[in-house]
A and B are shown apart, each in its own frame.
Chain A
Amino acid sequence: MALSGVEIFKLLPKTNCKKCGFPTCLAFAMSLAQAKVDLAKCPDVSEESKKVLGEASAPPIRTFSLGSGGKAVKMGGETVLFRHDKKFINPCVFVLNIKDTLNDDELNKKIDEVLTSEIDRVGQKLRIDAVSIEFASNDAAQYESAVKLISQKAPDTPVILNCKDSSAAEKAVKTIAGKKPLLYGVTASNADAMVNIAKANKIPVGVCAEGLEALSALTEKIKGMGVEDIVMDPGAKTAKEIVELNTQIRRSALKKGFKPLGYPIINSALREDSVLEAAVAGVAVAKYASIVLLGSIEKWKNLALFTLRQNIYTDPQVPMQVEQKIYKVGEPSAEAPLLITTNFSLTYFIVSGEVENSKVPSYLAVMDCEGLSVLTAWAAGKFTAAKIAQFIKDSGVENQVKHRELIIPGQVAILSGALEDKLEGWKITVGPREANALPSFLKSRTA
């Protein structure tokens, strides 16, 4: 549990030496309590105080990375139960689970799917983040060779060793120790051997137990043995168990400060039916999974899952706005229609979607109205003839289109006269009141 400033103050040297940059130890303690400054700034703090303070200031859910290098992905560190409270921080990691029983051709094909999974969506590059290699063959040599093949073909892609057999795991780890794989398969019965492998190779572990009582006992034991980078598999077999167990874990860590469950969660979404697998993975994304195992990664499925993850991990405190600029819908020519709307993101999504549906390439001028919808912005004096005219002049659209016609939303038809006065040489056309009439409106103009 977090300590108060005064409690922290008691553990400091109380010398007011100012070496930390604060005038007094109390001022430093207050900043520590708010997590605004690092304890390392104090050169004189005792080892014992460091331990107490370190423990108390550790985040409720441990943060660390899977893999190493440029494609390493961060997990954990979450601070809230509901996304409207505060941004969910480290997006859920999507993992393709590959069985070592596949032949080399099949393995190569699977890795190719991972390597070509990247999709660019609203400026973010999204991809299947990692591979899990499942010890299904029960043959350590075969496992080692599959791990080797995959890591050679995809040297930067983080790897999860999905293996409960410690001797097979030990051999496999050696081939890829530098990649910082996750050793996933630690159970109550193999914990001693597995944790020793993890310690020797400085890699994180994934623990599996049925039920949270057993799971927390196991994480405590592992932490006691000296490994703290832990991912927990609560053994959820249905979507319901994902929702219930993950909720209990997140609540325990955040609301009760229960450290034994303060680690990232791994869930399996593996299902025979690929669409169902996508939907179950979606449930895990929404409900606190840090890693989701998938059995297949068709492109249609990746697109839907990446988009859902992006939605759930959107910052709720950033206003619902899009950037002010002239957007191109399709490949508009200099003769293409020019429409204007406000930068409320839903307005933008709906209007641009309908313009797109019309299949008439167009320019869409999106004006900064502080994220208000058309009618609200007009009522608030932010979407007025003078401001629209200024925006159109400043936007440079006059160099992009040859014509001088601006289509305004039907709801602000009242602006058309004043706009024609302010925008000299321009013709103002009143568009439909509702965005869903845009396709027929735009099509009828080209007919």
Chain B
Amino acid sequence: MSYMIPKETCNGKVLGLEFGKTKTLKIGSENTMPFLSFEGSIPNKPVIAYEIQDISPDDWPDTVKNQYASVSADPVKWAQYCQNELKAQAVALRLTGTHPDRGDRSAQDAAKIVKEVLSAIDIPLIILGSNHIEKDALVLVAAAEAASGCNCIIGKAQEGNYKTIVAAALAHNHKLIAMSELDINLAKQLNILITQMGFDKERLITDPMCSALGYGLEYTYSVMERIRLAGLLQNDATMQPPIIGDVGMYVWKVKETFASEADAPQWGAIEERGIAWEALTASSMLIAGANLLIMRHPKSIATVEKVIGELV
């Protein structure tokens, strides 16, 4: 029997998106399932953004917190450190301090930090709220205004607060992350609601919600894979925005990343354990279809960069 490569033609294409002002990055635009370049083109590599916060990351495990100990008290220094020392391609600033339980910083204060961080770096910036539905509606509107003209990615718009956030992203010309909770139908519905407000789907990024390895990763993996199949094979236009995996914040709160070697001797060295946990979560998301990742540990990021180097 002679062999024929079984190729599948995709009718659809992942939408391409460019973000950043001085230096810019492009994600998306592929027309194949992840990394199958024998049957389509993959013009842009996945991108990893380093996560930083507006307040000291007291709740991060030591293994990752220590990596930033000298700079993490100041988001501006932290962003510069990522850009200059770690050679980050992009930075994701999470406005954790605006959460009512984490200091309840005002939207105006958050906007000021956004401005300072933006003026300190020239790589693209992702601006994230604290994931408090009501507060994010205020904070992200102020942040979008503060970053006006800088072509940032802001997020996350969710079912409970998307209207004001979409309007702000529209008015100030940003890209937008739309997040739903692990359900392809909810993801589709939110993308439709947002585009019905006049927001281009070419400026959207889908966040189907990340899960950490061992804590529901299989659901995220399958939802991402199904979104890709819908967008590419069934040419469902509402399922074609690039996908983001917000990896670090889910990974670094599970016990495998911080349980001490004394408590869990069978789990081995804590430093590598956390790094591997984040790297494997992230590389699985890439295989499932993620175009953009937000991560924390420099070594996990370096590892996933190497995986990306092998994949493209």
Contacts and interface: CB of A to CB of B under 8 A. Distances in A.
Contact of A346 (B216, B225, B226, B255): B216
A216 B131 CA distance: 52
Interface stretch (B141-149, B151-159, B280-288): B280-288
A282 interface: yes
Contacts of B35: 239-240, 243-244
Interface in A249-288: 251-252, 255-256, 258-261, 273-276, 278-280, 282-283, 286-287
A212 B255 CA distance: 43
B221 A299 contact: no
A434 B215 CA distance: 17
Nearest to B61: A357
Interface in B29-44: 33-38
A238 interface: yes
B6 A251 contact: yes
A275 B1 contact: no
B303 interface: yes
Given A240-B310, A286-B284, A300-B267, A216 B6 contact: no
B254 A300 contact: no
A311 interface: yes
Contact of A353 (B8, B38, B215): B215
B226 A84 contact: yes
Given A240-B312, A300-B269, A84 B222 contact: yes
A179 B131 CA distance: 55
Contacts of A303: 256, 266-268, 273, 276
B36 A258 contact: no
Interface string B167-204: 00000000000000010000000000000000000000
A229 to B, nearest CB: 20
A426 interface: no
A119 interface: yes
Contacts of B8: 251
Contacts of B311: 238-240, 243, 283
Given A119-B266, A301-B276, A311-B214, A248 B5 contact: yes
Contacts of B55: none
B218 A244 contact: no
A78 B280 CA distance: 23
A232 to B, nearest CB: 13
A243 B36 contact: yes
A299 B269 contact: yes
Contacts of A300: 267-270, 272-273, 276
A303 B276 CA distance: 9
Interface in B18-57: 33-38
A220 interface: yes
B81 interface: no
Interface residues of B, number: 60
Contacts of A282: 280, 283-284
Interface in B237-289: 253-256, 266-270, 272-273, 275-277, 279-280, 283-284, 287-288
Contacts of A305: 280
B58 to A, nearest CB: 11
A304 B6 contact: no
A273 B38 contact: no
Interface residues of A, number: 65
Contact of A308 (B217, B299, B304, B310): B217
Q: Main secondary structure on chain A at its contact with chain B?
A: helix
Contact of A248 (B6, B101, B255): B6
B80 interface: no
A356 interface: yes
B294 interface: no
A311 B221 contact: yes
Nearest to B130: A436
Nearest to A313: B218
A83 B284 CA distance: 13
Contacts of B268: 298-303
A239 B286 CA distance: 12
B82 interface: no
B69 interface: no
B117 interface: no
Contacts of B269: 298-300
A248 B266 CA distance: 38
A345 B216 contact: yes
B284 A275 contact: no
Nearest to A282: B280
Contacts of B256: 303-304, 307
Contacts of A187: none
A312 interface: yes
B6 A252 contact: yes
Q: Chain A CB within 10 Å — which of B132, B218, B312 has the most? A: B218
Contact of A243 (B211, B213, B216, B287): B287
B312 to A, nearest CB: 7
Given A240-B311, A304-B273, A312-B221, A357 B253 contact: yes
Q: Chain A CB within 10 Å — which of B1, B215, B267, B276 has the most? A: B276
A274 B101 CA distance: 39
Given A255-B6, A303-B267, A356-B255, A278 B1 contact: no
6 contacts: A83-B221, A239-B310, A279-B303, A312-B218, A345-B216, A439-B59
Given A212-B3, A240-B310, 12 more contacts: A239-B35, A239-B310, A244-B38, A283-B287, A299-B266, A299-B268, A300-B269, A304-B280, A308-B213, A312-B218, A320-B219, A357-B59
Interface of B: 1-6, 8, 33-38, 59, 101, 131-132, 182, 211, 213-219, 221-222, 225-226, 229, 253-256, 266-270, 272-273, 275-277, 279-280, 283-284, 287-288, 299-300, 303-304, 306-307, 310-312
